Structure 1
C-alpha cells in the first residue's frame, strides 16, 4: 500500500454537505504500466479511476463498483473497477492513429455512454446509464446524479499521466438545515467555492491545505485517510470457470487449434494463464484446475 494512494472524507459542521477526496499515484502508475496508452487516454483513464474510487467510498456493503464507458470514437472502451476493499483496476481500448494529442472527452468518446454498476456480493445488482455529452467526465457524472434524482452530488477530476485526483461533494438528508432555501444556498456556496479550484491545486496540494484554501471560513472536519491500491481480481480459478462455460467439446477443439496449450490473458494486468490437455481433462472431470498440471514445464 502506498502513502500516495488514499481516499479521505470530510464533513461540514454547519450544513448538510459531505465531501470526499481521492489521490491515486502508485495504483495509477501500475495500471498505466500494463499498456502503452497515449497521453490523452492515460489522462482520461486516470480521471475515471479517481471517479470510481470516490463513488466506491459510498459503498456500505461488500461488493464492486464498475464504471464502463463505450463510444464510436477513438476510445471505444474505458473500464474501471473499485471494490469495497478500495482495490482498483482499469483498462482502455483505443485506436492510436485516431487520437490527437490535445483531445478531450468529446473527441475521444463521441456518442459515448457511461454505465455505472453497483454489484454487491449479496443482494441486487444496480446499474445507471448517462450520456457522455458533457465537457468532461466530472460534468457527466454530476449530471447523472441530477437526472437520477439522487442526492445532489458534484465532481471535480484531474489527471496528468502521473497522478490522478478527485473531489466529490454530496448533499446529505436534512439535519442541520431544515429550510429548503437555506439548504440550497449552502449547497451553492460550497460548490461555487469548489469551482474556483484550479487543476494544479487539485493535483498538487495536500488535502488539509486544499480544504483550507477553499473553506477557511467554514467548519470542516477531515477524517482519517483510507488506503487505496491496485489489485487485479483475475485468477486461474476464474479462467478455469471461463473454460468450463465453453463446454468440454469446444474447449478441446480450441486446445487442438492452439497446438496443445490454451492461454487466457487478463486484459487488465496482462497475466497469462496456461492450460494443457491434462488441465482440460482434470477440469471437466470435476477436479478443478487451481494449479497448472505437472505435464507442462
Structure 2
C-alpha cells in the first residue's frame, strides 16, 4: 500500500516534458465526509480535488488555484481548491431527489466551469474551462490547450477510499525529439489503471510506465485538508453584505450566525461584534 496524501513532481531528463503525480487518502475521506455525497458526486469531487493539486503545481507564486463548476443539473455546484503549499478543500451541492446514475454532463447540466487563480500578492485571474469533453480531465486538457497553449494530459481516478492522478505537460521550446518523447510517454500514461494509481507509490508507477526513459522524481510533498475560514474572514464577508443588512438581521434574530460550507465551523456575532466591525468600537 502506498503512502497516501502525497504530491511529487517529475521531469524527463534533457527534455521539455514534465509531470506530476498525486495520491489522496485521508484528505479525500475527510472532505468526502462533510456531506452524504452520492457515489457519482463523490467520484467527481475526488477527481476535481486531484486536478486542483496537479494544476497548482504549474503555479510560480504563492496563492491558490480553484476549480469551480456551476450548472443546472442534479449537481449544482462543484468546487475544489489547492494552495501552493498543498492544502486542499472542496465541496459539492446536489439535489438528492434528482440524482441518478448520471454521467459528467448530465450531473452538471448546462452551466459554467472556471479556473480561478488567486495570488497572495497581485491580481486574481479567472479562465473559462470549455465543457465540450465527456470528462473532467478532457475539459481541463482543452483549457490548457486554449488558455495556456500547452499540450497537457490529465489522468484522474477516484475510488471509495482515495483519489489519484497524473499530469504530463509539454513545455514551450520543445524540440522534434521532445515531440517524439511527448507522443511516446503520453501513450504510455494512458495505459495506467485506476488500481495502479490508487494503490502504488509514485516510483513504482513511473517505473512501470516509463522504464525506458530517464525520469527524475523530486521529493514528495505532503497534501492535507485545511479550511482557510476564520472569524476574521467571516467578518469580512459580513462587511461586504453591508451595515444596513447586518443590523436588519440583528434586529430580527438577535445575532448573526454563519457556518463554513467547507468544514462546518460555526461563527456567531452579536451586536457588539457588528458595532465594532462598522465603527471600530462598541456602541451598545
TM bracket (short chain) = over 0.9
> What CA distance in whole angstroms lies between the structure 2 residues aligned with 1:264 and 1:47?
29
> What CA distance in whole angstroms lies between the structure 2 residues aligned with 1:250 and 1:7?
44
> What CA distance in whole angstroms lies between the structure 1 residues aligned with 2:279 and 2:247?
13
Is the Cα–Cα contact under 8 Å of residues 111 and 133 in structure 1 kept in the other structure?
no
How many correspondences in the alignment?
Answer: 281
Which residue of 215, 219, 232 corresponds with 1:220? 215
Aligned CA-pair RMSD = 1.8
How far did residue 184 of structure 1 move?
A: 2.1
Q: Any stretches of 5+ residues in structure 2 without a counterpart? A: none
Which residue pairs with 1:286 in the alignment? Answer: 280
Q: Are 1:242 and 2:237 an aligned pair?
A: yes
Which residue pairs with 2:98 in the alignment? Answer: 98
> What CA distance in whole angstroms lies between the structure 2 residues aligned with 1:69 and 1:41?
13
Q: Any stretches of 5+ residues in structure 1 without a counterpart? A: 289-294
- Scaled by the length of structure 1, the TM-score of the pair is 0.89
Which residue pairs with 1:126 in the alignment? Answer: 125
Cα deviation 1:168-202 (Å, max 9, x = unaligned): 0011233xx633xx332221111001111112221
Is the Cα–Cα contact under 8 Å of residues 23 and 197 in structure 2 kept in the other structure?
no
> What CA distance in whole angstroms lies between the structure 1 residues aligned with 2:57 and 2:15?
20
Q: SS at 2:178's partner residue?
A: helix
Which residue pairs with 2:198 in the alignment? Answer: 203
Matches for 1:1-297 after TM superposition, within 5 Å: 4-100=4-100, 102-174=101-173, 178-179=175-176, 182-258=177-253, 260-287=254-281
Q: SS at 1:82's partner residue?
A: strand
- Scaled by the length of structure 2, the TM-score of the pair is 0.93
Cα deviation 1:49-73 (Å, max 9, x = unaligned): 0000011112211111111011111
How far did residue 269 of structure 1 move?
A: 0.9
Cα deviation 1:59-112 (Å, max 9, x = unaligned): 211111111011111111101111112111001111112222x32312211234
Is the Cα–Cα contact under 8 Å of residues 16 and 173 in structure 1 kept in the other structure?
yes
Q: SS at 1:254's partner residue?
A: helix
Q: Which 4+ runs in 1 deviate beyond 3 A?
A: none
